[in-house]
Amino acid sequence: MRHGLYFGFLALAVLALTGCDVVKQTITGDEKALSDAQIAKLIPARVKNAKSWAADMADIFDTLSIKKDAQNICTAIAVIDQESNFAADPAVPNLGNAALKAIDEKLEDKLGKNLAGVFRTMLETRPSPANSFIKQIQAVKTEKQLDELYRQIFDYFTQTYKVAPLTNITRLSGQGLDERINPVTTLGSMQVHIDYARSHRRASMSDRDLRADLYSQYGGLYYGIHRLLTYPANYDKPLYRFADYNSGMYSSRNAAFQQRVATLTGQTLAIDGDLLLYNDGTPLNKKSATEIATIKLLATATKPVSERQIRSDFKKEKTQGFENTVTYRTVSELFDKQTGRKSTYAIMPQVVISGPKLSRDFDTNWFATRVDKRYQNCIATAKRLKLS
């Protein structure tokens, strides 16, 4: 599960985006930088406050040293439109009931039977039966409303019920308990994961202030554009960057690597862009099928690559540097030699998208192709207006 609105409760660890060193995108070419007014013309006409969105986008592009050409602006516009239709705090159909379902599914597993019972009773009866927390949750329309209500519920719970395990979790994790267990983990107009925003705060602020920042128009754009465009990748079309936005940085490149290994070994592998197995963003010692297949493949190479080296190289899979590793280069050279064709740099990762706010499961291809359609429409407008 890679994208969308995820819920967990109390000891539930949030889905983490593995961090990578941010390298500001170097953009070459003669494309002209667009003005605020020109950017506004590329935003869908149905967006009433397009000038305000355009001004914020322009400022953020300048702040992050990203060139304001039509390709980059349309890349951002396409993702914003897909994720929220240009709403800083987008409404989500049936959000309250989806949140309650997610809470109920996780509560007992994470709290234990007794404490889960206490929490359920609190939701049903407090602060009053006529205005219970359950009824309040059912009434929310946006993620911000749910997020703020959740914090009220958490504060009420910790102040009313003095439960030692809750304090211990905070002490051991080094993170505010309300943040560690908050059920809303993707926020704002570009649905950025809170872990990514936490790793790239644009100013010194608390986790609660960071959430408020993400729900603002500027903050939601800042972290989304940062996530989308500040890492370098040699993709020949934006489609793969859109796929990465959904399934993780360099997932499209890594999926192509997995396909090479599968072709060379004849094994069926998950082409999902994850070379290692992870728990909360930390690589597990247990080997993935891709790692096992790569170890067997490179053990018999002309210049064998050790298991230790492969593991070290795979740990770089969320960075551009993976392309310079012995493992990546050796697999690519073997593929080119044995198949007689040049290895493809990127392919579409095969990742399922699921989450409470979705009516059914989708996949990364579904997301990326819909964003790409918006991108192509934007580029067509730019060409019509002679902005590209």
| Pair 221, 283 in one domain | no
Q: How confident is the model at residue 115 (pLDDT cuts 50, 70, 90)?
A: confident
Interatomic CA distance for residues 346 and 255, integer angstroms: 7
Model pLDDT for residues 342-366, shown as the tens digit of each residue? 999 999 999 986 655 555 567 999 9
| Model confidence at 4: pLDDT above 60 | no
Among 153, 187, 221, identify where a domain stops. Answer: 187
Of all residues in the chain, what percent carry a pLDDT higher than 90? Answer: 69
Report the predicted TM-score, pTM, of the whole model to 2 decimal places: 0.86
| Pair 196, 211 in one domain | yes
| Pair 139, 64 in one domain | no
Pairing of strands 278-279, 282-283: antiparallel
In a domain, 337, yes or no: yes
In a domain, 17, yes or no: no
In a domain, 19, yes or no: no
Interatomic CA distance for residues 287 and 291, integer angstroms: 6
Cβ-in-10-Å burial (0-12, 13-18, 19+) of 41 comes to middle
In a domain, 344, yes or no: yes
Q: How confident is the model at residue 19 (pLDDT cuts 50, 70, 90)?
A: very low
The mean pLDDT of 321-332, rounded to a whole number, is 98
In a domain, 268, yes or no: yes
The single residue listed with the structure tokens 């869908």 is 44
| Pair 199, 62 in one domain | yes
Q: How confident is the model at residue 254 (pLDDT cuts 50, 70, 90)?
A: very high
| Pair 236, 223 in one domain | no
Domain that holds residue 266: 232-357
| Pair 178, 113 in one domain | yes
| Pair 125, 142 in one domain | yes
State how many domains the chain has: 3
Cβ atoms of 116 and 124 within 8 Å: the answer is no
Model pLDDT for residues 269-313, shown as the tens digit of each residue? 999 999 999 987 899 999 999 999 999 999 999 999 999 999 999
129 membership: H or E segment, kind and range: none
Q: Which residues pair with 282 in a beta bridge?
A: 279
Q: Which residues pair with 353 in a beta bridge?
A: 362
Question: Residue type at 242?
Answer: F
Task: Please choose, from the candidates 130, 101, 131, 104, the residue with its C-alpha nearest in 3D space to the C-alpha of residue 119.
Answer: 104
Cβ atoms of 212 and 32 within 8 Å: the answer is no
| Pair 255, 320 in one domain | yes
Interatomic CA distance for residues 242 and 244, integer angstroms: 5
| Pair 213, 252 in one domain | no
Interatomic CA distance for residues 273 and 287, integer angstroms: 15
